Amino acid sequence: MLRRRHYPLPALLRLFSASCRRRSGLPSHPCPPNTELPPPPPVAKKVPFTVSAHGRSWSDPFHWMRDTSDPDLAALLAAENAYADAFVSSAGGGGLRARLAAEMRARLPPSVASPPQPWGPWSYYQYVPDGMEYPILARKLRPSGGLAGSLLSYLSDWDKEEVLLDWNEIAEKFGYVHIGSCRTSPDHRFLAYTLDTSGGELFSLEVKDLQSKRVIFSSPHKGIVSLAWSHDSENLFYTVCDDTLRPNQVFCKKMQSDEADFLVFTENDVNCCVDITSTKDFKYITVYVMESGNVKEGLWPVKKRTNKVQYFLEHHSGFFYILTNAPLEDIETSAEGYYLARCRAEKALMDRWQVVALPGSDCIFQDMDIFHEHLVLFLRKDGLPLFCSIDLPVKVDFQEPKELGNLTPWFFPTPSNLCSILPGANNDYMSSTYRLVVSSPVIPDLTVDYDMRKKTFTILHQEEVTGLSSSLCTSGLQSNVSSIQQSLQLIEDSQSWSDLSKLLTCERVQVISHDGVSIPLVILYSREAHIHGESPGILFGYGAYGEDLDKSWCSDRLSLLARGWILAFADVRGGGDPSWHLAGSKTNKINSIQDFAACGMHLIKEGFVHESRLCAVGCSAGGLLVGAAINMMPNLFSAAVLKVPFLDICNTMLDSTLPLTILDYEEFGDPNIPAEFDAIRSYSPYENLSPGICYPPMLVTASFNDTRVGVWEAAKWVSKVRDITCPSCSQSVVLKTNMQSGHFGEGGRFMSCEETAFEYAFLMKALGMDDIAAK
C-alpha cells in the first residue's frame, strides 16, 4: 500500500531569544542565544477560510496554500528558502555546513559495487561509478562448468559487461530520477521498470529488449506501481493507480505483439489496493491467483475477502504455501499475527487448508520466500529480526498443527543485538543460497550468503568507509574497520560473530511510558567523545504503518558522534509487529506521542543528554509524531528537524479527494466517525499549536512535487507557528523546500550528504554549539 511515510534509502543492495522561557512540567531553560539572526522571516498572507465537521467550525487562514499553482505560494517558498539558507549559512562562522558535507563525502568511497548475485546463466550486480551519484544495473554471463565450457566461455567473451539500466543517464536527461519497480523477465531477455522523472510518483512503464538494447514499449498509462512476468516471458502484468494514487487496475501487455494492453481486473472498493507479484517459479500471478501462462482462465480467489485478513502465496511442487492471519478454527493457540498454511494448487481445492507451522508464543512470522528445496521465513523475536529456512517438501503429519521448532528450522547466524536485516534480490528459484544484508548502528553493512543446504554462511562484502582523518570517529573507525576486516576470516572459520565495535557504544534499553508499557530505545554514542550529562543528542522516531524505525549503519552519523552527540532511536507504538502497530494507530495514536516523549525524558534523566540539548528528528509520519510531541511538551526538545512532515492531518484526512487519504483511514482513523475525528483533532500538530508559547528552533523540509504529503502541510505549519507562538523564538523556525523533487528527495550519494549537512548545521546552530569541532 502507498503510505504517507518515508522509505529509508537502502544500502546499494539496497539517509532565539535568551529572555524567553518555555512552559512545561520540565525545568524551564532559556532559548539558546542566537547572536546572528538573519533578517525577519517571511510573513505569509492570510485568507479567511472556515472548516466545518461534526457541527464544529474553525478558521484556517492558510488554507489557500493548498493551491500549488498560486503564484503567492511560489513566492513565499522562494523567500522561505532564502531565509533558511541565510539562517544556516551563518553557522560555525559561515563554514560549518560545508565542513560537515566535506566530512561526509570523504567517508564515501569514489565508487561502490554490490557482490554479483547469480540467476540462471547470468550474474547480476549494481555499482556506482567513480564520482557518480546513482547506480548502474549490469550483468555478466557466468562461465560454464568444465574445461570445454571454460574454453567456450572464453571464446564467447563471457565476461563482457552488459549495462541494463543507468540511473545517471536518466537523471542527466530529466534532472531527477526515481526507479520504482524493476523486473527482469524469466528468460532474461526483457527488463521492465517504472520511472518517475518529476518526483510526483506518477510512474511510467518502460520495457527494454536486452538483446537489441532498445526500449520497445512505453505504457500510455501513468501511475504504475507493481509488475509481474508470466512464466514464458510473453506477458507482463502491471497495476495502475486511480486519481487518488490507489492501485486499482491490473493490465496485461503481450510482448512482441501490437495488441492493445487488456484489462485483467478492477478493484472497485476504495478501501483496498491491488498489488501483483508472481510466485518465485513464475507459474502463478497473485494475490488473486491466476495461472501466468493461462490468463483467459481468469482469477481464483484464495478465500472469501474478510476485513483485515491477508494472504501471501508462494508455489512449490503443486502446493500453495500461504502466510496468513486468517482466524484458525478449532485450534487453540497463543500465536499472534501470521501462521503458515498450505493447500493444493487447484482451483477446486483452494479452501482445503493444512496448517504447516505456528510461530509459537515468543516469535512472530512477518514474511516468507521460497526455493526449489527450501522455504525461508522472516521472523521477529523479542523485537529483533530473525531469518530461518525449512527444508522442502515438508514431511510432517498435518493432522495437528506444529510449532516452527518441530520443522527443524535452521536459524541464520547473525550478530547479537542486530538492528537491521534486509533480503537481497534472491531471484533464482533453483538456488540453495539466500542473501541478506545485515547491519547495525555500529556495523557497516555486511552482505552475507547463507547456504541452506550445507547450513553455512559466507561474508561477501562490507561497506567501505574512506577519507579517514585524525578525529575521533575517523581515526578510531580506521582501526575499527581494520578489526572488522580481520574478524571476517575468523567469522567464516568459526561460524561465530565477534564484537566489531571498540569505540562506539550501542545499547538497547526499555523505557516505561505513561501507561506502564516498556518502549525499546536504542542508544548510540562514542565512548571517547560522549560526556555524561553534558552531551547533545537526537531522538529519532517514526511509529506508523507497522514499519520499524531504520537503525542500519550510516556513516554520516560519525560527524555527530565525533562531536560527542548521542543518537537514540525510539521504537514507539505504531511501528513493529501487528499488536504494537495497533497499539499506536487510530484512536491509540496518542500512545506513540507519549512513548516518544517518555524516551526523550529518559535520555535527560539518565544523563545521556543535557536537559537543554535534546533534539528530535522525524520524517513523514514521523514528523507528525515529533510535531505532536513538541505541542504536548514544548520545553522537552531544544531543536527539531521535521522532514516532509505530515502535520496538517486533521484537514487532510477530511478531504477524501486527496491522494492516499481514504487508504489512511486504516492507519489514523476515519474522520467521518465522530470518535475517530476527535482523536485525530486532539493530536493534530497544526491544530494544537499553543498561542504565545516559546517553541524550539525547527527546520521543516518539504518537496514541491510530493504527492504523499502536500508541500502546503509544512508551509502552513511554519506560517502558523510564526503567527501565533512566541514571535522571538519563532524566528528560528525555518522552512526549506526542494522545488524539483518529491517525497524521497534527490536520492544521489553525494547530494544526500549536502542535505544531511544542512540538517546537522541547523541543529548545531540552534543549540549554540556550531563552533564545537570534533575532538
Alpha-carbon distances, residue 141 vs 188, 252, 272 (angstroms): 11, 30, 42
Q: Is the pLDDT of residue 703 over 70?
A: yes
Q: Worst-scoring range by mean pLDDT, 39-53, 60-74, 187-201, 284-298?
A: 284-298
pLDDT score, position 691: 96
Alpha-carbon distances, residue 417 vs 242, 381, 410, 413, 553 (angstroms): 43, 11, 19, 12, 13
Alpha-carbon distances, residue 368 vs 404, 415, 533, 628, 770 (angstroms): 13, 21, 45, 36, 47
State the Cα angle at 239 between 236 and 240, rounded to 5°: 125
Confidence of residue 32 (pLDDT cuts 50, 70, 90): very low
CA distance 476 to 650: 48
Taken in order 462, 467, 472, 475, the sign of the CA dihedral is positive
Strand residues in 231-306 grouped as ranges (E): 235-241, 247-254, 262-266, 277-278, 284-286, 290-291
C-alpha cell at 273: 489496493
Q: Worst-scoring range by mean pLDDT, 284-298, 336-350, 458-472?
A: 458-472
Three-class secondary structure of residue 521 per DSSP? strand
Confidence of residue 34 (pLDDT cuts 50, 70, 90): very low
CA distance 98 to 47: 39
DSSP 290: E
CA distance 238 to 752: 31
- For 321-332, give one letter per residue: b (16+ CB within 10 A) or e: bbbbbbebeeee
C-alpha cell at 732: 528560528
Question: Phi/psi zone of residue 571: left (φ > 0), alpha (ψ -120 to 50 degrees), beta?
Answer: beta
Residue type, 238: Y
Start-to-end C-alpha separation, the chain? 45
Query: Residues of the chain with pLDDT > 70: what percent?
Result: 86
CB 715 within 8 A of CB 41: no
For the ranges 245-249, 390-394, 639-643, 726-730, the one whose mean pLDDT is highest: 639-643
Tens digits of residue pLDDT in 46-99: 999 999 999 999 999 999 999 999 999 999 999 999 999 999 998 887 899 999
CA distance 752 to 167: 16
pLDDT score, position 771: 60
- For 9-41, give one letter per residue: b (16+ CB within 10 A) or e: bebbbbbbbeebbbeeeeeeeebbebeeebeeb
Residue type, 569: F
Q: Worst-scoring range by mean pLDDT, 27-36, 84-93, 533-542, 671-680?
A: 27-36
Mean pLDDT of 716-730: 96
C-alpha cell at 534: 553534558
| Backbone torsions φ then ψ of 277, nearest 5 degrees | -155, 170
Which residues lie closer than 8 Å to 521 by C-beta, 6 or more apart? 508, 509, 510, 511, 568, 569, 570, 571, 599, 602
CA distance 417 to 408: 24
pLDDT score, position 773: 54
DSSP labels for 412-460? PP--TT--EEEE-----TT-SEEEEEEEETTEEEEEEEEETTTTEEEEE
DSSP labels for 322-387? EEE-PPPSS------SBEEEEEESSGGGTT--EEEEE--TTEEEEEEEE-SSEEEEEEEETTEEEE
Three-class secondary structure of residue 758 per DSSP? helix
Pairing status of strand 402-403 against strand 410-411: unpaired
CA distance 745 to 643: 10
CA distance 622 to 602: 19
C-alpha cell at 629: 510531541
3-state secondary structure 195-251: EECCCCCCCEEEEEECCCCEEEEECCCCCEEEEEECCCCCEEEEEEECCCCCEEEEE
3-state secondary structure 558-610: HHHHCCCCEEEEECCECECCHHHHHCCCHHHHHHHHHHHHHHHHHHHHCCCCC
pLDDT score, position 443: 87
CA distance 139 to 117: 9
State the Cα angle at 367 between 495 and 573, rounded to 5°: 100
| pLDDT, greater one: 526 or 499 | 526
CB 712 within 8 A of CB 655: no
| pLDDT, greater one: 610 or 745 | 610
Which residues lie closer than 8 Å to 287 by C-beta, 6 or more apart? 275, 276, 277, 302, 311, 312, 313
Q: Is the pLDDT of residue 501 over 70?
A: no
CB 379 within 8 A of CB 387: yes
CA distance 17 to 22: 11
User: If we measure between CA atoms, which residue out of 493, 470, 478 comes closest to residue 444?
Assistant: 478
Mean pLDDT of the chain: 86
pLDDT score, position 333: 52
Q: Worst-scoring range by mean pLDDT, 85-89, 186-190, 300-304, 558-562?
A: 300-304
Tens digits of residue pLDDT in 220-229: 889 999 999 9
- For 721-757, give one letter per residue: b (16+ CB within 10 A) or e: bbbebbebbbbbbbbbbbeebbbbbbbbbeebbbbbb
pLDDT score, position 316: 95
The CB density around residue 405, as the number of other CB atoms within 10 Å, is: 10
CA distance 115 to 95: 38
Strand residues in 680-732 grouped as ranges (E): 698-703
Cis peptide before 423 (omega within 30 of 0): no
Which residues lie closer than 8 Å to 283 by C-beta, 6 or more apart? 231, 291, 292, 293, 315
